[in-house]
Amino acid sequence: MKIEHIAVWVKDLDAIRKFYQKYFGAVSNEKYHNPVKNFESYFLSFDNGCRLEIMTRPDIRENTNSYEAQQFGIIHLAFSVESKRKVDELTEILRKDGYTIAGEPRITGDGYYESVILDPENNIIEIVA
């Protein structure tokens, strides 16, 4: 068994799609639009076969989505890269491009070398090796 996809509600569908394409190598399908439900989505595919479905609809409620004040539910996505050097490099690219680095590269208690960044809508992303 494997995780086939994870779905995330987003405000700006195209900005989020471009972010995951640029920094994490996602390949996007064509936008799906259901005018009856006023629903739009993309599936973003990654090399390992897992997919991220990003979805938008105008009636979705806001949440706090805060790194500091977290809440129950899925809290982060972790992307594995091949080395500590790649963690450092991608973290610096994201910093240079203006994204929030919520956790500097370090060895965690569970043995990962990771950094934590926030995507354009403050979703927590771990970059791990």
Per residue in 17-65, pLDDT (tens digit) is 999 999 999 999 999 999 999 999 999 999 988 999 999 999 998 887 7
Cα–Cα distance, 14 to 41 (Å, whole number): 10
pLDDT category of residue 2 using cuts at 50, 70 and 90: confident
Q: Write the DSSP symbol of residue 62.
A: P
Strand 5-9 to strand 27-28: parallel, antiparallel, or no bridges (unpaired)? unpaired
SS3 content of the chain, % helix, strand, coil (to 5): 20, 35, 45
**In this prediction, what percent of the chain has a pLDDT beyond 90?**
84
pTM: 0.92
CB atoms within 10 A of CB 87: 23
Distances (CA, A) of 71 to 68, 109, 127: 10, 21, 21
Q: For the chain, how big is the Rg over CA atoms in Å?
A: 15
